[in-house]
Every structure is written in C-alpha cells, then in structure tokens.
C-alpha cells in the first residue's frame, strides 16, 4: 500500500473511531431523556417521529399487510383486536392494505399484530401552482384555435363510425357538473368519496357536482357532446360513458388512499378505462406502499386501461409525479399543438431503487396537447378561486386551460376509440400501439416519450400487425438527464434501463448496436422478452484519451433481433464536443431560506450546454454545507481559478471586501461576471437581495442597483411596446420586450467608459433591465431580476409578447469565453521520493503556448518539460521530494493573444504517527466504546424502567402537518 493510500486509510479509521467514541455519550443523553420511546422497525421513520412528538394526535395512516392477507382476514384481525387509538377508514378488497386514523397508542398496538408489513403516513401534497393566466374560450369565433381532434388525427376514426360507444371511462377527480349541456347524457354514475353522496341510477338522470371544476374540464375532453358549441367542438370520444368518481375536495386535493378507493370502485363497476389527472410527489421509498400505484396495478391486471397525467414540474428532469411513475400506466405529457413539448410538462427519467431492476426508466410515454385547450366549466365552482378551468367571458360554459391534466383525458378518450373499434384489445396493447403510432417531435424521449399521439395510425398498426408488436423505450439514446452532447475528455453516464413493451412472447432475443456511435455504447447482449414488460441495460462510455479529431456527430442504432429479423430499434444520436468553459454559480451567499439553485433556469443551462459549457456550483455540496450550519469558505482567487464565468444571482448575504476584490480581479483578468439582482420593496424600505454588496462590486463600472420595485408579484412587460427602448447590441438581437415577474431596475452612468444600458423601462433611459460593461480583459452583464431567467416565467413571457427566451440564448452565446479554457488539473503522487505528475486539460482554438510552473513547499520552482498529447492534454512530471503544499500555475495563450491564467494549490499530507501506534490507539478507543454502549444498554432497557403512562381515550383525526392532500396536475 502506498504512503498516500495508507495514510488516508488510517485517517479514515481514526475518524470513524472518534465518531463511535462520541456515540455512547449521545446515547446516554438520549437514553436518559427518551426512556418512553418504543422501537418500531415496521413504522415509516417520518410517522415514527411525528407520533413521538404528538402522541395524542390521530394521523392518517396506511397499514400494509403481507401479501396473503385479503380484506376479510384483515377485517377479522382488526375487529378482534379491539385496539384503542385507531379508527378504520377503508379496508381494501383489491390490495392487502387498510387506511386508518391512529394515535401513537394505536400504532404501537398495531405493530404487535401478525401480518403487518409496514405502517406509514397516508401521504398528501398541496395543489400544484396553477399554470399561467387562463384565457377564456371564444367559442364560435375565429381565433386560430385548433382542437385536439385535429392534432391527434381523430377524424378518420370518427368517419368510420367509432366514437367510444359502449366504452366506460372513469374520471377519478373532483367530480363533474351533470348540468353541463355537453355532459347531461354522458354521465352514467356518480360516487362521492368526499361528502358521501352518490347517484348510480342513470334511469332518471345522474345528479353530480364539481366544487373545484377540474373534474368537469377533464370529463368534457373525454366525452363532451359539443351541444353548447353547436357541435363545433366536442370531446374526443363523445359517445363514451362517464363514471364520475369524486376523490378530490374543493381545493383539488386528497389522501393517496382515497384515490385508491376511487380506483377500487372503478374496478368493481367494471369500467374500461381510468383517467387520473392527479399527481403527488413521489419518493422512491420502499417503506411507503403507494396505495394509488398498487390499486392502479390491480386495475390494469383486471383488464382496465389506466391513463395518468405526468405532472407540471418541467422543464426540470426527474419530475414525473405519482402515480404516473409506475411502469404499466400510460403516462402523458403535454405538447403545444403539434409543434413541441410544453416547458411545464414534467420530464423523466424516473429513478427507482425499490423495483427489480432498479435504476433509470423512461417516462412519460406519450404526448397530447396541453396548452390552452378548450373544455367545459363547472357552474358549481368558483371562477375567482379556480380561474384556470372555470372562467369565461361568454355565457357559454367553456374555457381554455393548460396542464398535463388536460392532456391525460385526451389519451383516455383515444383509448376509448381504440377499444370501440378493436374490441378485446388489452391494456398493454392499447399502450403499445398508442406509443408506436405516435409522431416523433424530435424532442428528448424523457420529454416526449414516443411523441404526439396519432390514433388513426395506431388503429392502422393494430390491423396491419394483427396486434403483434414489440417496441423499446427510450426512442433515442442518450437521453436526459444530460443531453446527447458529451465531452471529448470522457463523459460517462450511469446505466439506463431500456423498457421492452411487447404484446407477444419473444423468448430470448439478441441485442446488437451498430453505427459509429456504437463504439461508445455498452449494452447487454441478450434479453428475455415476454408479454408485458422486459428490460436490459444500456450505458454511455466516452474513453478518457480521445483526440480532438474525434469531435463530431455520431449515429447508429440498438437493434433487437429475433433470429435474423429486427423487431425493435433505438436510435443512437451522439455529439462529442470540446470543453467550452464553465459557469460557476455562487451558492455561498444565498440565504438559508431562499437558495435560488440552478434548477430555476434549466433553459439557460441547455443553451450553455449547446455551446459546450457546463454549470458548476460554489461550493460543490452547498446544500450539505448549508444544512450542517458550518457556513461557507469565502471567495478568493482560487475559488474562481477554474471558471470562466461567475454568476451571482439573487444572493442575500453580504460580500466581504476581500471577496469583492477577488471578483473584480477575476473580471479584470478576463473573466465574465453575470450578476442578477432583485427588487427593493419601497413600502417597507427593504431590499430582497444584498444591494449594498452588489453596488460595491459594480461601483467602478458605472452600474448600480436602484431602490426600485417593478412587476409587483403579478409581472409586467417592459421595453419597446411599453414606452421603453432597446439598444442595438448582440445581447439584444431580436429582443424588443422583457417580462419581469417582480424585481428591480438598474442605473447606468454612461460617463464611465464602456458602461451601457441595453433594455430600458422608460423613454428617458433612466431605469435599465439589462446593462453591460467591458472591464480590463473581461466583461460584466447585469440583469435587474432573476425572474427574467426563470423557466417558470418563460411561457408567461411568450404569451405576453416578451422575448425572454431570445435574451437567454443571446446571453448564452455572449458569455462564451474567447480565452483558452482549462477544464481541470489532476495531481497524482505516491511515496515521497517517487515520481509525481500534474495533468492539465486545456482547450482553445489555435493554442500557441502553454506554460506550466510548479512551486514546491518552500516556494522553490520545479522545472521539467511539458508533454502535450491529444491536442488538449498537458503532462508535467517531477520527483516528489517532500510533503507539503504544491502550487501549479498555468498560462495558456492562443494566436490572437488571448490568455488564460490558472492557479491552484494542492496539499500532500505528512504521515503524522506510526501505523502501529495509530492502530493501537484505535483499538483502545473501541474498547472504551464497548464499555460505554453496555452502560447505555443497562440505562435504557434495565430494571427500574418506568412503564409508559396510558394515553387519553379521546382523540381527533387531523391531517398530518396541516398539509392538504395528491395535487391536480
């Protein structure tokens, strides 16, 4: 073992031993103060903590039983036990589970019963933020609106006489307005799990209500007859029957178990399709049983097609909500007509550790229009509180609304059309043919799945293939997270599961990759394919030593072969690029209550990635450091050494004089500062950001943040069309107006050389939204507010005619470094007296000279020749004579004279003590730990421990943490 590895090994052992030494002390303290705690290995940790803190409170819980327990056995077990502190809500017939209210006493009694697999909170989440402004429907008025029946190619199916006749679709949602003229003849039953009402006798008409409006909008998109529009617009399966199951309350929320109750009711009623435009945060936690997912699986096993909204968490990746995360569901994302994926539509992948296999899986499966879709409104819902799907400027009961909630029932309606035309097809066949018939929009598969649904093509495929099909997801690889772009220096991705969906048993099949992209793909050789879902693994591996000549586009395919026949394929599309630079986001100066992390501006990140740039954060593990409470190291020259662009965005904590000096030096030496301020509340006279530090940084450059607030939480458009002005500059190319949600303004002193305001709120050019200045060899780009960059405001901006998206693209191009870029410097060493080396990865167009200087612990200069290879790899080898601090200084210059300087310090630690002595100390400490643990055990479990006092018998059920229950998507 080398000295380096041995020393680190010993330090780790010593650290672990010291931690163990402290554990008995902590244990003694806990033992003395929490002697009433009971070990509950079957209880979810969150629930365990909550009942310990609130022993008399009754929480909504889920009890999962072992698989051989059915409803009668569970009912008998709970009935005979006579447990105090519980109230049974539902014992499920379709899954081994019960929902209850329970206090701490009830939970402690439950865990003593046989057959209990787990006990967890019945999870609830709040309603997601509604998407943008509603737009009232202009029924009968030429407005350029294109209804989904056109986009999804429904017309030919209708023309053949198929419109969902005889197919029952269950809408599990907030109810439906049975008085809506387009729904009166389509609702065949209503079951209310919120207020307990029901009407399952359609002979005299069904009486149903919707106090939120979301369910009515969803139901109309399936089977609205269009009577109120003069038959101009209808649902996509206007002759389908609707079973309305109300599980969401007036706010659009419900316990997860209540959704499972709705699914169970739908199964019992023998429906053909379930539409679930609901979703809640999904946590990959095997201790939580996910009632809605388990129930939906049973529905599919019973032959019911289950369609689920993917969620409105985009454009961030890994934002698919539950129950849309599970494999068998048809998970639906949203498109803008037939053009592209809507930014708000949730993206995959779904990462699972509690399934077999585990890892990354592709979602969503398919798209339907989800941007300003016409639908029906509920007369029983408040249009002020729920304007997105309940407001209209006409007497007609229609509006336009957005979200994957509106996309989901459209796919449910397409499933109804397929079942109508092709009786007897199974849920797996419906899903497979909807996907295979979809139109590829060219987006990442984690955005679009297989693309935009085309029901006529899907129907034709069913006929031409006799229902036999096998396909693989994703449609293309590589996918998100990340893009199809990778760096030449080595850019490996974690393996991803390919999902094989098949309507027939294929048995053992061969997997082959072809094309020049296959050189970088690792894939399983074989897979076993049966009816339903099968999997194999694919990975991306870019070698570390590719030359610059390898830059470029690569293509190919992954093919599945049955004998010599290719039965399914995945397209390979890979772009290898040079390293284009780094944008470093300052997270060290954010308030602990308001850290604006990089997930807020993923569009900007995508544009940077197209230029070969990456985003990093300072410090690297800022959230861990933030949670620890230890604070961050201040900025200095070494903090900025590895970046070309520094982004200071909406930071609240002040900067020291040393940090301000380091930032200015960074700019003067050729760096780019992208500084984004916020607003100043002129009523309370309080800034929303560290305005004094911002102005101290910017003071020499003629730009200052003003005591001003615009937008006022509603947003406003500023620029040419609102009395302002826009200067001609590469940053403002094609930009006329900027949308600001709420923020501030900038003043610009034009007497300072190079200082220029580019977008002004006023004709007098006193208040700027965008300003820039060149300083030394670098430049500064100042934006007046972070909402200009946020993903969540992009579509508001587009709706209002603002050009935020164009501005983002222009900024991404403008901050591309013109100097050489240094990706990283590695320091490799072993024993003192042996060889050590630095390896620098340096990129640049027309590099002319690279100087690498190394200084030892005593500041002695180490001179050795530099070896260049591959066009970007520079190697410096020397003899390691002593431990201590080593500094490497790099100066890279190109033919145009652009220079990049990089300085970094490394520490080679001294072995502080002899190995045998260190091990002796550790063994001694471990002995002390053992004695202390024995003592704690006696205190905690020994004789004399007091019995737990009995809880009061009176208790009141309440929502955990005052949360509202899964959200409408």
- Most confident of the ranges 408-417, 663-672, 908-917: 408-417
Give the pLDDT score at 19.
45
Helix (H, G, I), strand (E, B) or coil at 225: coil
Burial class (CB in 10 A: 0-12, 13-18, 19+), 507: exposed
Residue 954 has pLDDT above 90, yes or no: no
The two three-digit tokens of residue 181, written as one number:
């003229």
Where residue 859 falls (left for φ over 0; alpha for ψ -120 to 50; beta otherwise) is left
pLDDT of 181-191, one tens digit each?
Answer: 999 999 999 99
- Residue 268 has φ and ψ, to the nearest 5°, of -60, -30
Cα–Cα distance for residue pair 231/224, rounded to 1 Å = 10
- Residue 27 has φ and ψ, to the nearest 5°, of -60, -40
Q: How many C-beta atoms surround the C-beta of residue 391 within 10 A? A: 21
Give me the mean pLDDT over the 916-932 stretch. Answer: 54
Q: Report DSSP letters for 646-714, one per residue.
A: EEEES--SPPPHHHHHHHHHHHHTT-EEEEE---EETTTTEESS-HHHHHHHHGGGTEEE-S--BSTTT
Going by pLDDT thresholds of 50, 70 and 90, the confidence category of residue 957 is very low
Give the pLDDT score at 280.
76
Cα–Cα distance for residue pair 377/399, rounded to 1 Å = 7
Going by pLDDT thresholds of 50, 70 and 90, the confidence category of residue 143 is low
Residue 353 has pLDDT above 60, yes or no: yes
Look at 150-159, 276-285, 480-489, 647-656 and tell me which has the smallest mean pLDDT: 276-285
pLDDT of 561-597, one tens digit each?
Answer: 999 999 999 999 999 989 899 999 988 888 777 667 6
SS3 sequence of 76-133: HHHHHHCCCCEEEEEECCCCCEEEEEECHHHHHHHCCCCCEEEEEECCCCCCCCCCCC
Look at 330-339, 638-647, 791-800 and tell me which has the smallest mean pLDDT: 791-800
Cα–Cα distance for residue pair 852/871, rounded to 1 Å = 16
- Most confident of the ranges 129-138, 634-643, 831-840: 831-840
Query: Looking at the chain, how many residues does it have?
Result: 969
H or E element: which one contains 51? helix 45-53
pTM, entire model: 0.81
Give the pLDDT score at 9.
46
Give me the mean pLDDT over the 222-248 stretch. Answer: 94
Cβ partners under 8 Å of residue 434, min gap 6: 330, 365, 366, 411, 414, 415, 418, 453, 455, 458
Contact 70, 94 (CB under 8 A): no
Distances (CA, A) of 451 to 93, 340, 366, 443: 37, 9, 5, 8
Q: Report DSSP letters for 402-457, one per residue.
A: -SHHHHHHHHHHHHHHHHHHSTT--HHHHHHHHHHTSBP-SS-HHHHTT-B--HHH
Residues acting as catalytic residues: 173, 214, 405
Contact 441, 335 (CB under 8 A): yes
Strands (E), 817-898: 821-828, 835-843, 847-855, 861-862, 866-869, 873-879, 884-894
Nearest to 396 by CA among 141, 133, 135, 137: 137
Distant-in-sequence contacts of 53-58, Cβ < 8 A, 24+ apart = 54/104, 55/103, 55/104, 55/105, 55/951, 56/103, 56/104, 56/951, 56/952, 56/955, 57/103, 57/955, 57/956, 57/958, 58/85, 58/87, 58/101, 58/102, 58/103, 58/106, 58/955, 58/956, 58/957, 58/958
Look at 522-526, 725-729, 869-873, 941-945 and tell me which has the smallest mean pLDDT: 941-945
Q: Report DSSP letters for 371-413, one per residue.
A: SSEEEE--TTS-TTTSGGGT--SSSSSEEEE-SHHHHHHHHHH
Cβ partners under 8 Å of residue 626, min gap 6: 587, 592, 595
pLDDT of 157-175, one tens digit each?
Answer: 999 999 999 999 999 999 9
The two three-digit tokens of residue 285, written as one number:
């936690």
Residue 135 has pLDDT above 70, yes or no: no
Cα–Cα distance for residue pair 494/612, rounded to 1 Å = 20
648 DSSP β-pair partners: 675
Provide the percentage of residues in the chain whose pLDDT is more than 70. 85
Going by pLDDT thresholds of 50, 70 and 90, the confidence category of residue 5 is very low
Distances (CA, A) of 762 to 280, 717, 722, 745, 759: 44, 12, 8, 11, 9
pLDDT of 774-796, one tens digit each?
Answer: 998 899 999 999 888 887 787 67
Residue 8 has pLDDT above 70, yes or no: no
Cα–Cα distance for residue pair 904/890, rounded to 1 Å = 9
Give the pLDDT score at 608.
87
Residue 966 has pLDDT above 60, yes or no: no
Residue 941 has pLDDT above 60, yes or no: no
Nearest to 37 by CA among 839, 946, 926, 968: 946
pLDDT of 799-822, one tens digit each?
Answer: 788 999 899 999 999 999 988 999
Going by pLDDT thresholds of 50, 70 and 90, the confidence category of residue 133 is very low
Look at 30-34, 67-71, 212-216, 267-271 and tell me which has the smallest mean pLDDT: 30-34
Give the pLDDT score at 394.
63
Provide the percentage of residues in the chain whose pLDDT is more than 90. 52
Give the pLDDT score at 947.
32
Going by pLDDT thresholds of 50, 70 and 90, the confidence category of residue 915 is very low
**CA-based torsion, 790, 793, 795, 800: positive or negative:** negative
Going by pLDDT thresholds of 50, 70 and 90, the confidence category of residue 140 is low
Going by pLDDT thresholds of 50, 70 and 90, the confidence category of residue 932 is low
Residue 124 has pLDDT above 50, yes or no: yes
404-421 and 214-223 helices, crossing angle to 10°: 30
Cα–Cα distance for residue pair 160/407, rounded to 1 Å = 24
**Buried/exposed code over 181-203 (b: 16+ C-beta within 10 A; e: otherwise):** bbbebbbbbbbbbeeeebbeeee
Helix (H, G, I), strand (E, B) or coil at 74: helix
Give the pLDDT score at 783.
94
Give the pLDDT score at 145.
86
Residue 25 has pLDDT above 70, yes or no: no
- Centroid of chain to Cα 632: 26
Cα–Cα distance for residue pair 772/673, rounded to 1 Å = 10
State the chain's mean pLDDT as an integer.
Answer: 84
Contact 413, 240 (CB under 8 A): yes
Give the pLDDT score at 629.
55
pLDDT of 519-565, one tens digit each?
Answer: 999 999 999 999 999 999 999 998 888 999 999 999 999 999 999 99
Give me the mean pLDDT over the 16-38 stretch. Answer: 42
Q: Are strands 168-173 and 241-246 parallel, antiparallel or unpaired?
A: parallel
Going by pLDDT thresholds of 50, 70 and 90, the confidence category of residue 920 is low
CA angle 879, 880, 881 (to 5 degrees): 105
Give the pLDDT score at 946.
32
Contact 44, 82 (CB under 8 A): no
Comparison of pLDDT for 244 and 750, the residue scoring more: 244
The two three-digit tokens of residue 175, written as one number:
């109810």
Cα–Cα distance for residue pair 648/694, rounded to 1 Å = 9
Give me the mean pLDDT over the 78-93 stretch. Answer: 87
Give the pLDDT score at 191.
97
Task: Give Rg (Cα) of the chain.
Answer: 32
Going by pLDDT thresholds of 50, 70 and 90, the confidence category of residue 730 is very high
pLDDT of 607-636, one tens digit each?
Answer: 888 788 888 888 776 555 555 555 556 777
Look at 284-293, 752-761, 906-915 and tell me which has the smallest mean pLDDT: 906-915
pLDDT of 354-411, one tens digit each?
Answer: 777 888 999 999 999 998 899 999 998 888 788 878 888 666 899 888 899 999 999 9
Give the pLDDT score at 776.
87
Residue 463 has pLDDT above 60, yes or no: yes
Strands (E), 580-633: 581-586, 613-618
Cβ partners under 8 Å of residue 460, min gap 6: 437
Give the pLDDT score at 824.
87
Going by pLDDT thresholds of 50, 70 and 90, the confidence category of residue 645 is very high
Comparison of pLDDT for 470 and 256, the residue scoring more: 470
Cα–Cα distance for residue pair 149/375, rounded to 1 Å = 13
Helix (H, G, I), strand (E, B) or coil at 800: coil
């Amino acid at each position: 073992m080398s000295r380096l590895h041995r020393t680190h090994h010993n330090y780790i052992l010593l650290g672990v031993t010291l931690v163990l030494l402290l554990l008995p002390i902590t244990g003694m303290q806990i033992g003395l103060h929490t002697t009433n705690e009971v070990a509950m290995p079957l209880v979810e940790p969150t629930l365990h903590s909550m009942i310990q803190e609130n022993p008399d409170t009754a929480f909504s819980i889920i009890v999962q039983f072992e698989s051989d327990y059915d409803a009668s056995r569970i009912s008998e077990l709970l009935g005979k036990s006579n447990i105090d502190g519980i109230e049974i809500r539902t014992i499920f017939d379709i899954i081994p589970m019960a929902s209850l209210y329970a206090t701490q006493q009830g939970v402690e009694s439950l865990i003593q019963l046989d057959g209990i697999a787990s006990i967890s909170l019945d999870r609830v989440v709040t309603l997601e933020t509604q998407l943008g402004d509603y737009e009232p429907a202009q029924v009968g008025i030429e407005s350029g609106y294109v209804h989904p029946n056109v986009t999804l190619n429904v017309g030919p199916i209708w023309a053949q006489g198929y419109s969902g006749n005889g197919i029952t679709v269950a809408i599990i949602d907030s109810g439906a307005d049975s008085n809506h003229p387009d729904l009166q003849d389509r609702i065949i039953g209503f079951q209310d799990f919120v207020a307990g009402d029901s009407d399952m006798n359609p002979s005299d008409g069904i009486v149903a209500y919707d106090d939120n409006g979301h369910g009515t909008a969803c139901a109309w998109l399936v089977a609205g007859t269009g009577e109120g529009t003069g038959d101009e617009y209808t649902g996509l399966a206007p002759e389908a029957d609707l079973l309305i199951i109300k599980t969401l309350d007036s706010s659009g929320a419900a316990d997860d178990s209540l959704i499972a109750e709705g699914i169970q009711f739908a199964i019992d009623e023998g429906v053909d399709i379930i539409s679930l435009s609901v979703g809640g945060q999904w946590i990959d936690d095997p201790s939580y049983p996910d009632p809605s997912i388990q129930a939906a699986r049973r529905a599919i096993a019973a032959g019911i097609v289950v369609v689920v909204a993917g969620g409105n968490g985009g454009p961030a990746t890994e934002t698919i909500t539950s129950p849309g995360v599970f494999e068998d569901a048809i998970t639906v994302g949203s498109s803008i007509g037939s053009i592209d994926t809507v930014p708000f539509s949730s993206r995959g992948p779904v990462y699972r550790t509690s399934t077999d296999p585990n890892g990354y899986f592709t979602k969503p499966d398919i798209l339907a229009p989800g941007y300003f879709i016409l639908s029906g409104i509920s007369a029983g819902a408040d249009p002020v509180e729920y304007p997105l799907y309940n407001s209209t400027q006409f007497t007609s009961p229609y509006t336009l609304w957005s979200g994957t909630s509106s996309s989901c029932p459209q796919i449910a309606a397409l499933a109804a059309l397929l079942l109508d035309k092709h009786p007897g097809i199974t849920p797996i066949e419906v899903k497979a043919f909807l996907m295979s018939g979809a139109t590829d929009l060219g987006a990442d598969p984690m955005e679009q799945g297989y693309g935009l649904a085309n029901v006529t093509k899907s129907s034709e495929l069913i006929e031409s293939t006799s229902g036999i099909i096998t396909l693989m997801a994703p449609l293309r690889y590589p996918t998100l997270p990340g893009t199809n772009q990778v760096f030449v220096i080595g850019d490996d991705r974690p393996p991803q599961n390919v999902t094989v969906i098949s309507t027939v048993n294929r048995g053992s099949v061969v997997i082959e990759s072809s094309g020049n992209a296959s050189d970088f793909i690792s894939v399983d050789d074989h897979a076993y394919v049966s009816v339903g879902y099968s999997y194999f693994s694919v990975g991306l591996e870019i070698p570390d030593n590719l030359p610059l000549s390898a830059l470029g586009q690569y293509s190919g395919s992954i093919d599945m072969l049955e004998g010599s026949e290719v039965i399914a394929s995945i397209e390979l599309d890979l772009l290898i690029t040079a390293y284009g630079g780094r944008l470093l986001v300052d997270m060290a100066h954010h308030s602990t209550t308001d850290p604006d992390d990089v997930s807020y501006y993923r569009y900007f990140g995508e544009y940077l990635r197209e230029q070969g740039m990456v985003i990093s954060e300072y410090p690297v593990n800022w959230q861990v450091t933030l949670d620890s409470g230890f604070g961050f190291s201040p900025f200095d020259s070494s903090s900025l050494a590895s970046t070309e662009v520094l982004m200071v965005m909406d930071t609240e904590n002040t900067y020291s004089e040393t940090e301000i000096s380091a930032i200015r030096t960074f700019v003067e030496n050729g760096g780019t500062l992208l500084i984004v301020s916020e607003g100043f509340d002129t009523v309370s006279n309080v800034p929303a950001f560290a305005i004094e530090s911002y102005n101290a940084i910017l003071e020499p450059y003629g730009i200052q943040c003003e005591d001003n607030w615009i937008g006022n939480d509603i947003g406003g458009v500023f620029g040419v069309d609102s009395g302002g002005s826009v200067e001609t500059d590469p940053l403002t190319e094609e930009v006329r107006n900027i949308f600001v949600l709420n923020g501030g303004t900038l003043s610009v002193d034009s007497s300072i050389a190079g200082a220029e305001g580019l977008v002004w709120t006023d004709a007098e050019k006193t208040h700027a939204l965008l300003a820039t200045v060149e300083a030394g060899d670098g430049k500064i780009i100042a934006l007046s507010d972070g909402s200009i960059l946020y993903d969540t405001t992009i579509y508001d901006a587009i709706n209002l005619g603002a050009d935020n998206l164009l501005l983002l693209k222009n900024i991404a191009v403008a901050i591309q470094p013109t100097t050489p870029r240094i990706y990283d410097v590695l320091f490799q060493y072993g024993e003192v007296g042996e060889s050590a080396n630095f390896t620098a990865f340096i990129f640049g167009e027309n590099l002319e000279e690279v100087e690498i200087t190394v200084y030892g612990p005593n500041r002695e200069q180490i001179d050795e020749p530099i070896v260049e290879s591959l066009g970007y790899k520079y190697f410096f080898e020397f003899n390691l004579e002593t431990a201590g601090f080593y500094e490497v200084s790099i100066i890279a210059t190109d033919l145009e004279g652009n220079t990049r300087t990089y300085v970094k310090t490394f520490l080679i630690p001294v072995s502080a003590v002899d190995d045998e002595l260190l091990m002796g100390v550790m063994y001694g400490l471990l002995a002390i730990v053992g004695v202390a643990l024995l003592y704690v055990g006696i205190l905690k479990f020994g004789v004399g421990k007091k019995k737990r006092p009995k809880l009061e018998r009176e208790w009141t059920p309440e929502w955990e943490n005052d949360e509202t229950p899964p959200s409408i998507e």
